[in-house]
A and B are shown apart, each in its own frame.
Chain A
């Protein structure tokens, strides 16, 4: 679908086509609500089900049954009557629920009576020395090209980090016939102590058995070392990985230390956010129905706080039920209680996982010449010194150092800058706060912006 073919308004706009967005859009469309779903990727599925309708990886064992569970969601959305638009980048959402979207170089402003933000998560910044070198990528990046394009790491591959996703990817690479030289496990040993009170819940959760099996599968084939420092070294491209346990030559280093909500769109829409100390990230403040502080705008899925793909879908359904009830009170919707029950079961093991995989301070709060902001190439030292000089918050830091002002708009430095300021000024991230974010949440070309239909622009200009 092209930008010009879109209606000028819909009852519901869902932003993001991962499990949360797909489940929300299907449920709402089936209830008779006019629904459009925008996703900037070429296909639906989001991160967990990336490439679900097109993956060349046909051997189902490689990506595993949890991946293929996405097929049902994609089919459901397809059959639901929701308008699903891929290659559609949402760059703006305002509190009046006007959505700015670009499709194939053309922009539109589309209105909605309700909006569900389902933009998911991103990997937590992992600022180590050399993390900008070609040859260093996130584990999620390697997983994305494995799922969507069937690309497998080739050459000497090292993984470093912590968290379930790292182990999942390792297993997927091995099953596909790939090789991993070593896994540098950065999980601090003492985390287990912190996590252990939550062990009983975890044991009962769906993650327990799967997790153990994965670990066993990977450890049988790959040497795993606990490390407390990691650096990528090379000149113009990665040559070796250096840790406190030694150096090893490498062509590809895959980094991962968990995922955090992708907050840019929700923040730019003006929704309130709060610091989550357990998950070490900001997340939107939401009510029981995942409705944000801005009326008519909900945030579902991992963007609402990390809980995993299955939980994301259930959250999407709860948000969609609330939207349908507001828009079409007479429409039939599934029983929210059973949805909530499934959601609770999914969320059970989280506390244990979060505490166990909590990244060490040294991997979140870099020192010296390590880049905190990749785009503007601002070092940790500069940020720390500026904080010492009296800079109290990330917005002032932006003005002093330009960190967060490059094209990624703070996505890969936001948490680092907040945590560095908090550490340096001996206060909390909650106190320091986050970048003030504004649309465009994704850069748009001047030509795209100029392409906004004039009639629409004029009409809106008169209304305001």
Chain B
């Protein structure tokens, strides 16, 4: 859905659901997911529908993911860092357990 205009920043290595993803310093987690072509980051607790980041400004909460074991974090507000473990969230798996 998105491509990078310029490879400006330094490379940052993350994993998403255990698979390596290359991000760039200055990315938020949500931007890194979009740039990596990951099509959804969670499913809803009510019907299990897939969701992806919608507003990228902290309003919609559709970008909720588990980051380094902490559930329901807003991926669009958290900057990436080396070695970060991102997990997509399924339904009610929001307690980070």
Please determine whether A151 and B58 come into contact, CB atoms closer than 8 angstroms: no
- How many positions in chain A have a CB within 8 Å of any CB in the partner chain? 52
Q: What residue of chain B has the Cβ atom nearest to residue A105's Cβ?
A: B70
Complex CA–CA separation, A195 to B76 (angstroms): 36
Q: Is A80 an interface residue (CB 8 A)?
A: no
Complex CA–CA separation, A375 to B30 (angstroms): 18
Please determine whether A134 and B52 come into contact, CB atoms closer than 8 angstroms: yes
Complex CA–CA separation, A123 to B39 (angstroms): 23
Contact with B55, one of A123, A146, A443 (Cβ below 8 angstroms): A123
Contact with B26, one of A41, A149, A154 (Cβ below 8 angstroms): A149
Please determine whether A134 and B59 come into contact, CB atoms closer than 8 angstroms: no
Please determine whether A237 and B50 come into contact, CB atoms closer than 8 angstroms: yes
Complex CA–CA separation, A64 to B2 (angstroms): 21
Please determine whether A150 and B52 come into contact, CB atoms closer than 8 angstroms: no
Please determine whether A57 and B5 come into contact, CB atoms closer than 8 angstroms: yes
Contact with B61, one of A105, A134, A408 (Cβ below 8 angstroms): A408
Whole-angstrom distance between the Cβ of B77 and the nearest chain A Cβ: 6
Please determine whether A407 and B61 come into contact, CB atoms closer than 8 angstroms: yes
Annotate A159-192 by CB proximity to B: 1 below 8 A, 0 otherwise.
0000000000000000011000000000000000
Complex CA–CA separation, A123 to B55 (angstroms): 8
* Given A154-B2, A377-B47: A136 touches B59 (CB 8 Å cut-off): no
Annotate B16-59 by CB proximity to A: 1 below 8 A, 0 otherwise.
00000000101110110011000110001011011111111111
Please determine whether B2 and A134 come into contact, CB atoms closer than 8 angstroms: no
Q: What residue of chain A has the Cβ atom nearest to residue B30's Cβ?
A: A145
Please determine whether A407 and B64 come into contact, CB atoms closer than 8 angstroms: yes
Chain B residues in 8 Å Cβ range of A252 = 1
Q: Is A422 an interface residue (CB 8 A)?
A: no
Please determine whether B58 and A40 come into contact, CB atoms closer than 8 angstroms: yes
Please determine whether B5 and A176 come into contact, CB atoms closer than 8 angstroms: yes
Chain B residues in 8 Å Cβ range of A41 = 58, 77
* Given A57-B5, A137-B56, A445-B70: A149 touches B28 (CB 8 Å cut-off): yes
Q: Is A47 an interface residue (CB 8 A)?
A: yes
Contact with A154, one of B3, B47, B56 (Cβ below 8 angstroms): B3
Q: Is A17 an interface residue (CB 8 A)?
A: no
Please determine whether A136 and B79 come into contact, CB atoms closer than 8 angstroms: no
Please determine whether A149 and B31 come into contact, CB atoms closer than 8 angstroms: yes
* Given A134-B40, A148-B28, A149-B35: A154 touches B1 (CB 8 Å cut-off): yes
Q: What residue of chain B has the Cβ atom nearest to residue A251's Cβ?
A: B1
Whole-angstrom distance between the Cβ of A255 and the nearest chain B Cβ: 9
Q: Is A327 an interface residue (CB 8 A)?
A: no
Chain A residues in 8 Å Cβ range of B60 = 374, 408, 411-412
Please determine whether A237 and B59 come into contact, CB atoms closer than 8 angstroms: no
Annotate A348-382 by CB proximity to B: 1 below 8 A, 0 otherwise.
00000000000000000000000000111100000
Chain B residues in 8 Å Cβ range of A442 = 58
21 A-B residue pairs with CB within 8 Å: A56-B6, A56-B9, A56-B24, A132-B62, A136-B54, A141-B56, A144-B57, A145-B2, A148-B31, A149-B26, A150-B6, A152-B4, A177-B5, A236-B50, A237-B52, A374-B54, A375-B44, A406-B61, A407-B61, A407-B72, A411-B59
List 16 extra interface pairs beyond A150-B5, A237-B52, CB under 8 A: A42-B79, A56-B24, A57-B5, A105-B70, A123-B55, A132-B49, A134-B51, A135-B52, A138-B55, A144-B76, A149-B31, A151-B31, A152-B3, A153-B1, A154-B3, A412-B55
